[in-house]
Amino acid sequence: MTRRNTRNQQTEDEAKEQSLEEAASLSPLMIYEVIRRDGEEELARTKRSLFWSGIAAGVLISLSVLGEAVLRTYLPDTPSRFLIENVGYSLGFLAVIMGRMQLFTENTITTVLPIMRERTVAAIGCMLRLWAIVLGANVIGAFAAAALFVFTPAISPDVMAAITALSEHATGMPAAQGFWRGVPAGIIIALIVWMLPQADGAEFFVILSFTWLIAAGDFTHIVAGSVEMAVLMLQGSLGLFDALTGFFLPVLAGNIIGGTVIFTLVAWGQVRDDVTANESPEVGK
């Protein structure tokens, strides 16, 4: 009887310990490891897989522009409309991130963390190759979605007018302002990637709330903004030179600095000693 009680107590203690381990928050080192492994998987993917996944992301991110435009069109014109309509901006990000598609701004942290550990020319070359393929594919997908908006009757005239107004606002700010507003957007996207490993079923709300903040804060995002840029270019109201120098390149630089130079380096800094301690002296050198 005593043995049975002891065995039951041990089983109960083991169950409690397992529950505590499952409930415990992931340490920064564990979050780093999850993202690093995801990054290594992305770096190992074929060019074809990266390209088509990037195109799909570029097409579906247009749901952010479309969602915001639909809410702007049909919500009553009240002071709170701005905050509500920006919920629509989250739709494209929800589709892309939860669908595990290649979004350039995610890769400013996902593929950089493995490089922080290896720091070899070959590893940096793989990262730059992935960046170029994914960004190019995202832009192609954005133009494809914009062509659907502009050249077909798929979108109602009222909603199309709202899309045009949103596009003019997003691309109409000075280049320096677009750059600086791209920095917080890059940080926020990197933060989403960092939080998702321990979201524990709340991924939808993490993505929804923080991408809403990008829109509500009037920050600039290179891929969603590429849809708006493409709309104006296809309509003939924005030239290539102005699009590149006034919007695309400044916002791209801001997103990279926010997502990589600021957030990723800070995230690496808090786990660097732990990573080094777990490596052999040869690897650490």
pLDDT, one tens digit per residue, over 91-138 is: 999 999 999 999 999 888 888 888 877 778 888 888 899 999 999 999
Question: What are the angstrom distances between the C-alpha of 231 and each of 71, 110, 190, 220, 224?
Answer: 19, 29, 27, 16, 11
CB 196, CB 215: distance < 8 Å: no
pLDDT, one tens digit per residue, over 136-180 is: 999 999 999 999 999 999 999 999 999 999 999 999 999 999 999
* More confident site: 63 or 282: 63
DSSP state at residue 89: G
Question: What are the angstrom distances between the C-alpha of 74 and each of 70, 91, 159?
Answer: 6, 17, 9
CB 222, CB 260: distance < 8 Å: no
DSSP state at residue 1: -
The reported pLDDT for the residue numbered 231 is 98
Class of domain 28-275: mainly alpha
pLDDT, one tens digit per residue, over 34-90 is: 888 888 888 888 999 999 999 999 999 999 999 999 999 999 999 899 999 999 999
